[in-house]
Amino acid sequence: EAQVTQNPRYLITVTGKKLTVTCSQNMNHEYMSWYRQDPGLGLRQIYYSMNVEVTDKGDVPEGYKVSRKEKRNFPLILESPSPNQTSLYFCASSLSDNYEQYFGPGTRLTVT
Amino acid sequence: GENVEQHPSTLSVQEGDSAVIKCTYSDSASNYFPWYKQELGKRPQLIIDIRSNVGEKKDQRIAVTLNKTAKHFSLHITETQPEDSAVYFCAASRRGNNRLAFGKGNQVVVIP
């Protein structure tokens, strides 16, 4: 089954404790992206990747890191989480930047 | 960068009536316009998209129209049903820009 998976689905953590949210896709997609969703603000892009070892900033990259060492994986790293990073995070993948994006199930992150 | 705005933010319709959501975009070079539907607690999923070389596209009860001169595109849902109740996001991108800019979303409520 073609899919995008994310782990964990839910995470409660404390300020400053490094965490990683994993994202994996099995569709051989070139393009992958991370979004955060906050009430009233829609979906805002954090980082994206056009291919292995090629990543770039989206609209709200501050406080986040990503890596793309393999085509299928695109982890999101929060080196020192803060409460304003409490949000719903979605990973997505697509053939290219101008095609349908397939979203993962989402990760609900709470930073206290 | 691209700025996408959606109106109205909330739309209530009687079951069986039509719903129309309009989006405006700022970048005249944008050429890809998808619409995503997000049901409560679920991930966004593509329902229809249109490219700038066509003015209208239809898929059963859903249609999208594009006015490049005015830089707006609209989602039309006919014969609405309770399962159409969701948040709808429009987005815009242009080839090579590597970015998909989302609007803030419209809550559509279909009243039985």
pLDDT tens per residue, range A20-42:
999 999 999 999 999 999 998 99
pLDDT value at position B64? 97
Tell me the average pLDDT of chain B.
93
Mean pLDDT (whole number) for B18-45: 95
| Cβ-defined contact of A33 to B97 (cutoff 8 Å) | no
* pLDDT beneath 70, residues of chain A: none
Q: How far is A8 from chain B, CA to nearest CA, in Å?
A: 15
CA atoms within 13 Å, Cβ hemisphere of A91: 28
Q: B78 to chain A, minimum CA–CA distance in Å?
A: 23
User: CA–CA separation, B68 vs B22, rounded Å?
Assistant: 13
Question: Which pLDDT does position A72 carry in this prediction?
Answer: 97
Q: How far apart are CA B1 and CA B3, in angstroms?
A: 6
Where are any strands of DSSP class E within chain B? 4-7, 10-14, 19-25, 32-38, 45-51, 56-59, 62-67, 72-77, 86-92, 101-102, 106-111
Nearest to B98 among A48, A103, A105 (CB): A48
pLDDT of amino acid A94: 94
| Cα–chain center distance at A98 | 18
Of A56, A97, A104, the CB nearest to B100: A97
- pLDDT at position B94 is 86
Rounded to a whole number of angstroms, the distance from the CA of A50 to the nearest CA of chain B is: 7
Considering only CB atoms, which chain A residues are within 8 Å of B101?
45, 59
Main-chain phi, psi angles of A85, to 5 degrees: -95, 5
- Which residues lie closer than 8 Å to A48 by C-beta, 6 or more apart? A31, A32, A33, A34, A55, A56, A58, A97, B98, B99
Whether omega before B8 lies within 30 degrees of 0, making that bond cis, reads yes
In this prediction, residue B40 carries a pLDDT of 94
What gap in Å lies between CA B24 and CA A98, rounded to an integer?
Answer: 18
Distance between first and last Cα of chain A: 36
Q: Give B24's contacts (C-beta < 8 A, 6+ positions apart).
A: B4, B5, B7, B70, B71, B72
Strand partners, B77: B19, B62
| B56, two tokens | 């209208």
pLDDT at B8 over 80: no
**What is the interface size between A and B, counted as CB pairs within 8 Å?**
53
Provide the terminal-to-terminal Cα distance of chain B, rounded to the nearest Å: 40
What is the DSSP secondary structure assignment for residue A100, as one 8-state letter? P
